[in-house]
Amino acid sequence: MSAPALEKRDERPGEPPTETVPATEPAAPPPGPATRLAARLAARPSAVLVALAALLVVVSAFVTGSGAWPAGMTVDVTTPLEDLNAWLVENRDSHWLFLYFLLHISNNAELAVDSLIGLFEGLGWVGVTLLGTVLAWYAGGAGLRPRALRTAATALGVFLAVGVLGMWDPTMETLALMTVAVAAAALLGLLLGIAAGLSDACDRALRPVFDLMQVMPAFAYLLPFVLLFDIGVPSALVATVIYAAPPMARLTSLGLRGADPAALEASASLGASSWQRLRTARLPLARKEMLLGLNQTIMMCLSMVVLASVVGSGGLGDVIYRALGKVNVGQALTAGIAIVLVAVLLDRTTAAAGARLEESETRAPSAAASEEPRKAGPRPLLRSPFTVRPGRFARLRGWPSWLGLGALAAVLSALGPKLGEEEWPREWTFRITPYVNDATEWIEQSLGSGVPVVGGTLTWAEGVTNGVLNPLRDGLNATPWWALLVLVAALGWAVGRWRAALTASAALGVIGVLGLWTKSLDTLSQVLVALVITLLLGFAVGVLAARVPRVEQWLRPLLDTMQTMPQFVYLIPVIALFSVGRMAGIAAAVVFVLPAVIRITAQGVRQSDPAALEAARSMGATTRQQLLQVQLPLARRSLLVAVNQGVVLVLSMVVIAGMVGGGALGIDVITGLSKGDLALGLPAGAAIVCLGVLLDRLTQPARAEGR
């Protein structure tokens, strides 16, 4: 129905007829915030479900005030584990499973590690330093190339620094265990990667296994092997191999599946068999990925070997573990510096080997193409004595080079006692422990609570603990168990529909059935606080690094150093700043996880579509509008990956945080591992894995597609 018309005036002679003006209806008032929120909730039923579940949690927490898991719904796992532990102790020397299988693995592991330690002792500190420097020089390409000289200088500096710090013997123990673990993990990963790369069935079967192994914290690997091999080097070695093999397997499979089809077709057309195609075509084409997998395996082995000191593996990790138990920051820092130096040495050596391989593959076609012109051209009559021929060290490749290195090791082993002592001379050491302890005491007194206005690190830790951690933990414990299950199911449904909801609810239910409800909620509160702090800092710094190239250049060496440091090392500075407690564990987790979140965020923001950014600029969008409306929405997938990696890595620090007062599940795992108490450590480790599954399913909305 049309609106009525209003006539301005009657028509008069000599004047044009008056047009009628339609009457406009009064403008409706703009919708208020409540109306807009209701409209959005109506358009997204999953948001309504989550909001109702959150309201239920709050109301039930205020009404009941207690959310303990019912005792009648728990399962006693302590008694069966104690019985199993007793049976293993009684039958470890007589049962066929140990005599004909596990005992051989244990003996060979100890023999291999002891043999390498004996070799290092026979070489002496001079022989080990020379051999390590030569190996690094060869990995860098040999000759007088700058890369080879830098790598050799790095190795020489690392060995000398370790000796000066007085950490020679623990470092040799760590290197011996590292060498055996890397060799076994690389071989196992190579075999699994070849199987997954050549067979679709093997790839489908191994993929969920690798996914589960990436979610599990590092300490979870130690629990079952302590059950089988008891405390000592064998359990640490086997756990390290299993933990570090997946990167090698995944990248080997990726390299084999990404091989050039034209090269494979050419190999098949020449009549090569499957084995010949694998040996001469597939594996050479996958060398880059395999070398990257070896680098990742080496770094994961080093991290796990240090953590395995809890079960008696010895080495640098044992020094840190004992020092942290005595709150001796100086001793722990000395061993931590040695670990970082070893990590830098291994990382730089493998990176140099990868750069040499890439350089050789790049130069091979051009050298072949220019071979005939070089043969036909005239040769120079005079050559500078300082000019190094590119092919002078070309013979240092393949089996001749390994024979030469073996001969050098034999000679150095024979001349070791004559070259110097087995151990680093004590008079050449410099102890930094008393200076570090004095500095730690000064930090606690000056920066802990004596800073004007801001208070200090101890004041901040107390404020976060009393203002955030304790209320969050008390709120979770006050919420009824069934309300938390409803909230988790609603979040899972909103994220990934029924499969994510069932998986997350089942993981939380298993925690309750194990009888670890209260401790798990305490651990969950610490994980959530650490995750929020990490994401806030990581997103802010990552966006800044993506938009300001100079900031990225400044951060790159710092992030590289932080990513090569094992998890144990992060505990040392946080004790000096935050003392012992839950906040120290949270700070260590934040520092450990921050590099990964920063890099993933920066990469996602930097790779935003240039056309979309240009269109936004042409429309007059400000820098803030470009970031919030273009770059961050386009980087959504990378941000979700950063969140997921943050969850997994923060959870992996839960056990380590138990060493510095984190309590809850972490201290149970540490105590169970160190004392061989499987009834205490194994259920706590299983609860941590369940928390990992729960948080993983709730932070992957991309998986909701198609469910």
613, pLDDT greater than 50: yes
More confident residue, 192 or 411: 192
Residue 430, pLDDT above cutoff 70: yes
Predicted confidence at residue 65, as pLDDT, reads 61
pLDDT higher than threshold 60 for residue 364: no
Residue 86 has pLDDT above 70, yes or no: yes
Residue 446 makes CB contacts below 8 A (sequence gap 6+) with 456
For residue 135, give every residue at least 6 positions away whose Cβ sits within 8 Å of its Cβ, in sequence order, or none. Answer: 155, 349, 405
Average pLDDT over residues 43-56: 68
- CA dist., res. 428 & res. 425, Å (int): 6
- Residue among 423, 529, 430, 417 at smallest CA distance from 472: 529
Whether 254 and 206 have beta carbons less than 8 Å apart is answered as: no
* Better-predicted residue by pLDDT, 482 or 387: 482
CA gyration radius for the chain? 32
More confident residue, 572 or 402: 572
CB < 8 Å & 24+ apart, contacts of 560-564: 561/340, 561/344, 562/591, 562/592, 562/594, 562/595, 563/595, 563/596, 564/299, 564/340, 564/343, 564/344, 564/347
As a whole number of angstroms, the distance between CA 338 and CA 342 comes to 6
If we measure between CA atoms, which residue out of 518, 424, 537 comes closest to residue 478? 518
User: Secondary structure of 563-591 in the HEC alphabet?
Assistant: HHCCHHHHHHHHHHHHCCCHHHHHHHHHH
For residue 554 the two structure tokens come to 């400044």
Using an 8 Å Cβ cutoff, are 320 and 336 in contact?
Answer: yes
Mean pLDDT, residues 625-633 taken together: 78
Residue 22, helix vs strand vs coil? strand
Decide which of 311 and 413 is more confident.
Answer: 311
Which of 707, 685, 667 is CA-nearest to residue 227?
685
**Span 309-363, pLDDT tens digits:** 777 777 888 888 788 777 777 888 888 888 888 888 887 887 777 777 666 655 5
pLDDT, position 370: 45
Query: What value does the mean pLDDT of the chain take?
Result: 75
Higher pLDDT, 82 or 354: 82
Answer for the pair 643, 280: CB distance below 8 angstroms, yes or no: no
Asked whether residue 446 carries a pLDDT value surpassing 60, the answer given is yes
Strands (E), 47-109: none
Whether residue 385 is predicted with pLDDT greater than 50 in this model: the reply is: no
For the chain, what percent of residues have pLDDT higher than 70? 77
- Per residue in 554-579, pLDDT (tens digit) is 888 788 777 666 676 777 777 777 77
Residue 597 pLDDT > 80, yes or no? yes
* Residue 384: strand, helix, or coil: coil
pLDDT digits (tens, 9 = 90+) for 114-130: 888 888 887 888 888 88
Give the pLDDT confidence of 15-44 residue by residue, as tens digits. 445 444 455 455 555 555 556 555 554 556
**pLDDT classification of 236: cutoffs 50, 70, 90:** confident
**Please, what's the largest Cα pairwise distance for the chain?**
131
Structure tokens at 374: 């070089």
Query: Using N-to-C axis directions, what is the helix angle for 233-257 and 222-229, rounded to 10°?
Result: 130
Q: Which of 549-553, 593-597, 702-706 bottoms out in mean pLDDT, i.e. has the lowest?
A: 702-706
What pLDDT, on a 0 to 100 scale, did the predictor assign at position 372? 43
Query: CA-CA distance, 321 to 81, in Å (whole number)?
Result: 26
| pLDDT interval class at 401 (50, 70, 90) | low
Structure tokens at 18: 């008056």
Q: Between the CA atoms of 407, 413, 418 and 420, what dihedral angle is there, to the nearest 10 degrees?
A: 120
pLDDT number for residue 55: 74
pLDDT of 652-665, one tens digit each? Answer: 777 777 777 777 78
What is the CB neighbour count within 10 angstroms for residue 570? 23
Residue 1 has pLDDT above 50, yes or no: no
- Exposure string over 158-174, b if 16+ CB within 10 A, otherwise e: bbeebbebbbbbbbbbb
